[in-house]
């Protein structure tokens, strides 16, 4: 099933174009507002966890703190390091800021997916989705765009012509590249069960709690995805990119004024987007929580709007989780980070994907499910032993290297 936005099936007319413009504006403003509130939320929640008050002067509960910071940054001097590569230095913030907004476009922000509804709504006589764009490649688009964001960080550090930003950006690119593999492979498990790349299709396939597949995707792929997404976002405990104690501020050390604000905006926008993506892939996006026929229905709200409320609630859980991570977990060392990514997450996600694929194949062809699972587990155990042998060989070789000096 390819779920496309039926808004674009006829010839483009003025009404659809206006709807597109309105949707783009609304999504952009939602993105900006979400970022502003997320920065405030993070500071306030962390302050609470550290027994501080946090921002409390600007507006009620300090909610306008981010806005005040943004306005302040407009009035700050915009410095150009003399040794910077000027063109790349200017382009780099855009390379991380624009993709942050683009990947937000494919997340279903609402709509009624219940009872086999397709999540489409009718606005001014035009049938469309509460989602900016629903391309058939869906999730692949988000992955592609998040790869472009690596360039932003990489080039920012490189073009600064300074020591610490360069170190930060090299770390960042190696880290993001490593965890992108784990991210992609754990995502493949979700796609295998949903059978589509389109985000609205994935959401439509998850209407009740049992369709969230707690065992097949909720157990291993979800946790791998969560960890890999945290690393991809460069958020604690994986924030080696801007490890203040070693690298001053990481890749954005030489950036000041509004250029720095663009990086900051991108970082928090990415956090919001990633939470949205997790909710979309693993927890039914705007679908209400439902057990079988029983649905937690919010009264007095049309179903399409109710989707947005559910989505917001689910996203907030993950945003809080990210803040919680930051307040609780100490930063990893670089070799630990790489070991986690390459030696644990990637093999685990690949193995789990093969297991799921074999199971699905067995179920379709009516093979003996125990036989299939047993064979899979046997193969996986052999692979695990092979990997362990490789690890022990590399570490013994390293010890021999150590004694040579």
In whole angstroms, the minimum distance from the beta carbon of 103 to other proteins comes to 10
Under the binding rule (CB under 8 A), the answer on residue 378 touching other proteins is no
State yes or no: residue 293 binds other proteins (CB under 8 A): no
Cα dihedral value 314, 319, 324, 326, nearest 10: 160
Size of the site for other proteins (CB under 8 A): 102
Question: Taking the complex as a whole, how short is the minimal distance between the CB of residue 295 and other proteins, in angstroms?
Answer: 29
Closest distance to other proteins from the beta carbon of 372 (Å): 11
Q: Which of residues 7-26 bind other proteins (CB under 8 A)?
A: 7-8, 12, 20-21, 23-25
Minimum gap (Å) between residue 78 Cβ and other proteins? 6
Sign of CA dihedral 196, 201, 203, 207: negative
Calculate ∠ Cα 120-281-232, nearest 5°.
125
The reply on whether position 170 binds other proteins by CB under 8 A is yes
- Per-residue binding string, other proteins, 24-43, x by CB under 8 A, is xx-xx---------------
Of 56, 117, 257, 308, the residue at the interface with other proteins (CB under 8 A) is 257
Contact positions with other proteins (CB under 8 A) in 100-139: 101-102, 105, 132-136
Residue 14 or 51 having the CB closest to other proteins: 14
Near other proteins in 175-204, by CB under 8 A: 177-178, 180-181, 184-185, 188-189, 191-192, 195-197
- Restricted to residues 343-362, the positions that interact with other proteins (CB under 8 A) are 343, 346-347, 350, 353-354, 357-358, 360-361
In this structure, the strands spanning 126-129 and 290-291 are unpaired
Two tokens, residue 172: 């960042």
CB neighbourhood size of 374 (10 A) = 11
- Give me the DSSP letters along 26-81: HHHHHHHHHHHHHHHHHHHHHHHHTT---S-SSSGGGTTHHHHHHHHHHTS-----
Q: How far apart are CA 235 and CA 298, in angstroms?
A: 34
d(CA 83, CA 22): 43
Sign of the four-CA dihedral 97, 99, 105, 109: negative
Using the rule CB under 8 A, which residue among 56, 126, 162, 208 binds other proteins? 162
CA distance 219 to 230: 17
Q: How far is the CB of 284 from other proteins (least distance, A)?
A: 19
Question: If binding is defined by CB under 8 A, does position 66 make contact with other proteins?
Answer: no
Rounded Cα–Cα distance for residues 194 and 206 (Å): 8
Q: Which of 15, 33, 83, 369 binds other proteins (CB under 8 A)?
A: 83
Cβ contact 206:283 at 8 Å: yes
Only one of the segments 212-220, 300-308, 309-317, 380-388 lies at the binding site for other proteins (rule: CB under 8 A); that segment is 380-388
No. of helices (H) and no. of strands (E), the chain: 13, 4
β-bridge mates for residue 220, sequence order: none
Name the percent of the chain in helix, strand, coil, to the closest 5. 70, 5, 25
Kindly provide the residue ranges of all beta strands, DSSP E only, lying in 146-291, ordered along the sequence: 290-291
- Scanning residues 230 to 249, which ones bind other proteins (CB under 8 A)? 248
Whole-number minimum distance, CB 245 to other proteins, in Å?
A: 11
Nearer to other proteins, 130 or 323 (CB): 130
Report if residue 306 touches other proteins, rule: CB under 8 A: no
CA distances from 144 to 92, 148, 151 (A): 17, 7, 12
Which of residues 210 and 396 has its CB atom nearest to other proteins in the complex? 396
Among 113, 164, 251, 318, which residue interacts with other proteins (rule: CB under 8 A)? Answer: 164
One residue of 49, 140, 305, 344 binding other proteins per CB under 8 A: 140
Token reading at 306? 């109710």
Where does this chain touch other proteins (CB under 8 A) — which range of 36-44, 50-58, 166-174, 272-280? 166-174
């Amino acid at each position: 099933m390819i779920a496309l936005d039926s808004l674009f099936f006829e010839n483009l007319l003025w009404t659809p174009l206006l709807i597109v413009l309105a949707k783009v504006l609304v999504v952009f403003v939602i993105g900006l507002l979400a970022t502003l509130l997320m920065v405030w939320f993070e500071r306030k929640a962390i302050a609470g966890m550290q027994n501080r008050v946090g921002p409390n002067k600007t507006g009620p509960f300090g909610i306008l703190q981010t806005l005040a910071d943004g306005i302040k940054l407009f009035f700050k001097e915009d410095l150009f390091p003399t040794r910077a590569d000027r063109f790349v230095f200017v382009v780099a913030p855009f390379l991380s800021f624009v993709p942050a907004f683009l990947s937000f476009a494919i997340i279903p922000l609402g709509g009624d997916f219940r009872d086999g509804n397709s999540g489409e709504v009718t606005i001014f006589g035009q049938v469309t989705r509460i989602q900016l764009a629903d391309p058939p490649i869906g999730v692949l688009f988000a992955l592609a765009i998040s790869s472009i964001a690596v360039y932003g960080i990489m080039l920012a550090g490189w073009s600064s012509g300074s020591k610490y930003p360069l170190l930060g950006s090299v770390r960042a690119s190696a880290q993001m590249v490593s965890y992108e593999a784990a991210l992609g492979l754990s995502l493949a498990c979700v796609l295998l069960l949903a059978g589509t790349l389109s985000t609205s299709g994935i959401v439509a396939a998850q209407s009740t709690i049992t369709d969230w597949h707690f065992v097949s995707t909720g157990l291993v792929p979800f946790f791998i995805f969560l960890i890999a997404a945290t690393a991809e976002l460069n958020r604690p405990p994986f924030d080696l990119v801007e490890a203040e104690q070693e690298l001053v501020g990481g890749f954005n050390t030489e950036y000041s004024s509004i250029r720095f604000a663009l990086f900051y905006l991108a970082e928090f926008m990415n956090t919001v987007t990633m939470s949205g993506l997790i909710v979309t892939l693993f927890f039914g996006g705007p679908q209400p929580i439902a057990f079988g026929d029983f649905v937690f229905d919010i009264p007095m709200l049309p179903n399409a709007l109710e989707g947005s409320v559910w989505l917001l609630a689910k996203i907030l859980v993950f945003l809080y989780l990210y803040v919680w991570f930051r307040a609780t977990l100490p930063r990893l060392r670089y070799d630990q980070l790489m070991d986690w990514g390459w030696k644990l997450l990637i093999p685990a996600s690949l193995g789990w994907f093969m297991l799921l694929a074999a199971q699905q194949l067995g179920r379709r062809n009516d093979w003996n499910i125990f036989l299939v699972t047993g064979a899979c587990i046997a193969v996986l155990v052999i692979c695990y032993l092979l990997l362990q042998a490789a690890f022990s060989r590399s570490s013994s070789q390293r010890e021999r290297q150590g004694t040579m000096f």
